[in-house]
């Protein structure tokens, strides 16, 4: 694997509107002290992953440091995305008490879920996005 090649191959940006940010911020706040989670529906257009809809999911772990979306909710989410003519382009979750960087558990699951991972940190009040492409890389979020 040529590292320079994989570096230049990644030119993706994630588009998250102000309204979507506020919606996810509210969900993260409502679910404190636990992590909140959601599926992000949208489309990939050229080099942009454009979020069009947010599907709120339950964190069945009810944990402040981990999240799990049940298989039932995943099936429901993928079905709803399909009905809306959209793809599941991302997974959102919040970090109520840590920075917006993937935990060791997040990284493990990122490897098997090759979508954008959007993390909101209640510490920094900021959103960050990542993808796994032979390693975890950050992708810029634009409005």
User: Using CB under 5 A as the criterion, which residues of the chain lie in contact with Zn ion when the complex forms?
Assistant: 103, 106
| From 18, 27, 35, 62, the catalytic residue | 35
- Reading the block at residue 52, the tokens are 């069009």
- Point out the residue whose Cβ comes nearest to Zn ion: 106
Q: Is 35 a catalytic residue?
A: yes
Query: What is the Cα–Cα distance from 74 to 23, expressed in whole angstroms?
Result: 20
Cβ proximity to Zn ion: between 25 and 43 the closer is 25
Nearest distance in Å: CB 32, Zn ion: 14
Nearest distance in Å: CB 126, Zn ion: 14
Cβ proximity to Zn ion: between 20 and 59 the closer is 59
> To which H or E segment does residue 13 belong?
strand 13-15
Half-sphere exposure of 1 (CA within 13 A, CB side): 8
Nearest distance in Å: CB 93, Zn ion: 5
34 three-class SS:
coil
Query: What is the Cα–Cα distance from 28 to 96, expressed in whole angstroms?
Result: 8
Cβ proximity to Zn ion: between 106 and 122 the closer is 106
CB neighbours of 123 closer than 8 A, spacing ≥ 6? 95, 97, 98, 99
Cβ proximity to Zn ion: between 78 and 109 the closer is 109
Nearest distance in Å: CB 131, Zn ion: 15
Handedness of CA 120, 123, 125, 128 (dihedral sign): negative
Name the residues annotated as catalytic.
Answer: 35
């Amino acid at each position: 694997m040529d590292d320079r090649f994989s570096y230049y191959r990644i030119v993706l940006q994630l588009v998250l509107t102000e309204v979507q940010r506020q919606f996810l911020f509210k969900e993260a706040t409502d679910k404190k002290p636990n992590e909140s989670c959601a599926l992000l529906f949208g489309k990939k257009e050229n080099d942009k992953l454009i979020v069009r809809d947010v599907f709120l999911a339950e964190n069945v772990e009810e944990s402040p440091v981990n999240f799990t979306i049940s298989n039932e909710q995943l099936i429901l989410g993928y079905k709803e995305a399909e009905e809306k003519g959209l793809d599941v382009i991302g997974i959102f979750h919040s970090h109520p008490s840590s920075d917006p960087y993937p935990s060791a558990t997040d990284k493990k699951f990122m490897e098997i879920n090759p979508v954008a991972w959007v993390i909101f940190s209640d510490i920094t009040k900021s959103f960050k996005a990542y993808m796994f492409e032979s390693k975890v890389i950050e992708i810029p979020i634009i409005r």
